[in-house]
Amino acid sequence: MSHWQIASRSLRALEAITDGLPAGKAPRFDTRGPTERLHEISSNTSNTLSDGDSYVATGAWPIAAFWGTHSALAMAGVLAGGGGGWLLWMAIGLFGVLRQTSNVVRVNPRRILVREGLAGRAERHIALTQLSAVWVQQGRFGRSLNIGRVGMQLTTGEVVWGPVIAHPTQTKRAIANAVGRRAFR
C-alpha cells in the first residue's frame, strides 16, 4: 500500500470523526412526519428564488466552535510541555474546524450544489427536476442549536444526504420553493 493510499484512508477516518451527526436512514414516506413530497408543492409567489438568486447554507458553526475549543485546549497542552499526543489532538481539532466550515448547500433556480468534506473535497450537483422529496434530520441537540442535515430523495429512489449545516429547515424551504417555482414555469 502506497503512502498516498494510507494518507487517503487516514483522511477519510478523520472526516468520519469530525462529521458531527450520523446520517441515518431515509424516513418513512407517509402523510405525517417531516417529509415534504415535492410534486405536491403549489406555486408560492412570495419567498421564492428569482432567476439570479440563490440560497446558501454553510457548515454548522456550533460544531466548528467545539472543534476550535478542542484544538485550543490541545494547544494549551502543547505549550505546557505536552508531547505528540497533544499535537495529534490539536490536528484533529483543526481538521474538525476545516471540515465544518467547508460544508455548503447552495440552492439556485436550476440545481442544488452539495459540497462536503475537508476543503469541499466531495461535491455533487443535483438538478431540481430529479428531486421527489426533501426532509430535515435533527435531534434535540440539533434543534436547540439550529443545525442538522437535509435529506433528499431523487426520482430514481436514491437518497442523498447533505452535510451538517446551519439552518436546515430554511434550506428545506428554499429547495421546496425552488422546485415549486421550476414546476410552474
Closest CA to 176 of 36, 34, 55, 28: 36
109: pLDDT strictly greater than 50: yes
Looking at every residue in the chain, the average pLDDT score rounds to 77
The domain total for the chain is 1
Taking the model in full, what pTM does it have? Answer: 0.69
Domain range for 12 is 3-183
Strand segments, DSSP code E, in the chain are: 36-37, 55-58, 104-107, 111-116, 122-127, 131-137, 147-154, 159-161, 165-166
pLDDT in tens, 118-165: 765 678 899 999 888 888 888 888 888 888 889 888 888 888 888 889
In what order do the strands lie in the sheet containing 104-107? 55-58, 104-107, 111-116, 122-127
64: pLDDT strictly greater than 80: yes
**Dihedral sign of CA atoms 27, 113, 6, 85 in order:** negative
